[in-house]
Amino acid sequence: MAFNINQFSAEISAKGTARQSNFDFYITLPQGLLNQTSNPQLEAFAAIGGGGIGYSLGLRCESVDFPGRGIQAIDGHRQMGFGTPVNIPYAPVHLEINATFLCSRELEEKEIFERWQDLMVGDYRRESPLNLQNQFNPGYYDEIVKPCMIRLRQYDDLGAVMYEIELREVFPRTVNPLQANWASGSEMHRLSVGFNYRHHIIKTEPVGVKEAERVIQQMAPPPGQNFRFTPF
């Protein structure tokens, strides 16, 4: 079909477009990172930005990936055992996402994510007599990863939530290096963090998709009956 500019304009006018800047980021952290009594050094982190660590990270999140997904497949063959292979899908692959944070003066954001990693692989970064026994001891998945979540929202230009997704069982797999150089002048540090997660949950559904499902359900025959076509 030839491209119709009027239909295109009507489509964009009816459904609009999603702007990359209309998003927010929220993260829940492991309790071990927030437990002030077990680690007094984290007391300052608990009040960052006046709303806690997760709130501060949300304000400083400059960019983030909405998650994608891949499908694992194996090569199979038809019953005769020859011919081109058939890719048989069997499992989802949830791809790592990246988020970028504007760094504060003391690089607190970098320290937060590295302390989260310390809970997973051991606190060997600090040479303290108190840490000798736990320098390389890994933590427990159910305590450090399983309770953690990232929530991403997409808004329209009026501030209404158009799309919401939650990433479950999250952890910061990669804290990327920060580059310092004289040529950058007053350029600020931006910390890029790669997150792994087990799966994601969709919290909203597009109105158009829901309407299409409603129409299909209305057209479907009652249970036990089939469509019958009457010849002309």
DSSP label at residue 77: -
Average pLDDT (60-69) is 96
pLDDT of residue 107: 94
pLDDT of residue 99: 97
pLDDT of residue 28: 92
pLDDT of residue 34: 74
Q: Determine the Cα–Cα distance for residues 152 and 23; give it in Å rounded to an integer.
A: 7
Q: Determine the Cα–Cα distance for residues 150 and 165; give it in Å rounded to an integer.
A: 8
pLDDT of residue 231: 43
For 135-156, the pLDDT digits (tens) are 788 889 999 999 999 999 999 9
Decide if pLDDT at 95 tops 70: yes
Of 130 and 124, more confident: 124
pLDDT of residue 214: 57
- Mark out the alpha helices in the chain (DSSP H runs): 5-15, 31-34, 43-46, 53-60, 108-121, 141-144, 207-219
Mean pLDDT of the chain: 82
For 29-58, the pLDDT digits (tens) are 998 887 644 444 445 454 444 457 888 899
pLDDT of residue 211: 56
Confidence class for position 175, pLDDT limits 50, 70, 90: very high
| Percent of the chain residues past pLDDT 70, beyond the cut | 75
Angle between helix 108-121 and 53-60 (nearest 10): 120
Average pLDDT (70-77) is 86
Check: CB of residue 67 under 8 Å from CB of residue 97.
yes
Please report which helix (H) or strand (E) contains residue 80, including its range: none
Decide if pLDDT at 78 tops 50: yes
Output the CA torsion 109→110→116→121 (10° steps). Answer: 180
Decide if pLDDT at 213 tops 80: no
pLDDT of residue 2: 67
